[in-house]
Structure 1
Amino acid sequence: MSTEQIEQNDQTENAHADIEAGTESQGSSTDVEQLRNERDQLALQLTQAQDRLARLQAEFDNTRKREAKERQDVRDYAIQSAVEPFLGVLDNFSLALKADGDVDQLRTGVQLIVKQMDDALRGLNVQPVESVGSQFDPRIHEALGSIETLEHPDHQVLEEIRRGYKLRDKLLRPALVRIASNSAQKSE
């Protein structure tokens, strides 16, 4: 406790003692009244500060909940936008499974479905990785093996086993390829 607080407590105790004893003077009466007013003002300020704090906490909580809901809405919209083009592809696969046709008709139907799938991916800015005929690039290709040849330059992609894809400039998955191994170029 500071000296001022001790003095203030002493004054308050003295004022109360004077009131109880009935020997209250005019000067101490105004001091007690002033202290009561000050106490009441401080109590009011404390109540107002507590109310402000409670309101700010509620506002913060509401903002946090609103932000979480908006984030979930954005995720749902992104998923909807990504899935929607593939629903038609799925429908066509179901129709192909129910179809009674010969092998050529089924092959033609599957080719149309693959084209529809490529179009859906292109609509989402997903592009296939260039493979066959290009030079092997370990950033976008994954070599599964090599083929001995003298007809093609060394490390040229000869066969694509699984297509790779990019989303704009970001690689989604590398292409699985077989590359040329030209022993004549290696010895040079």
Structure 2
Amino acid sequence: MEKKQQENEERVDTKEKKAEEQTTENEMNDQKTMEEQKTQNQDTDGHEQAEEQLPEEMKQLKDELDQVKQEKEELYERLLRLQADYENYRRRTKKERENDLKYKAQDLITELLPVLDNFERALQVEVNDDQAKSFVDGIKMVHRQFKDALTKQGLEEIQTVGEQFDPHLHQAVMQVQDDEKESNEVVEELQKGYKLKDRIIRPAMVKVNQ
């Protein structure tokens, strides 16, 4: 009898224990469900916040991209200007070097022009004495050699008498009235003018018909 009562008590204890375990398990499941729901809600809130932040981030990226494009265009424009400046500098220095070579003798020749003038004035003097004629012949030879040397350097006389007056080539110091000559025609040369290649280094002094 006592044994049966003990077995009944053990069954009751077992049932109560199972009930407690079931209750604990249910509570744990409920807590887990609540935590999962909370996590899901947090994920949902985070997703919504991310969606709200996305347009702002895209706008910021677009602004940064526009700024990069603008800086790129400015750098490209600067590069083009630098290239143009360099090309202008290169052409200018090349032309200067060419001119330096082309007209390297200009200063010396300009200083020698008065000497050439004196030679030609001396040759205009008429002499009758044989000894003086020999001296003049020597001057003529030196004058010819001197002039040939200058011609090899590019010196050229400016044409005057019979030509139309050109203010770039001629310097009018006198005017005359001659009906047999054309208007503005050079009728007399008072001092020779010279060009060095294509550059005027001294205009000719002339008399011009009105």
Larger helix proportion, structure 1 or 2? 2
**TM-score, length basis structure 1:** 0.48
**TM-score, length basis structure 2:** 0.44
Q: Could you say which structure has the larger radius of gyration?
A: 2
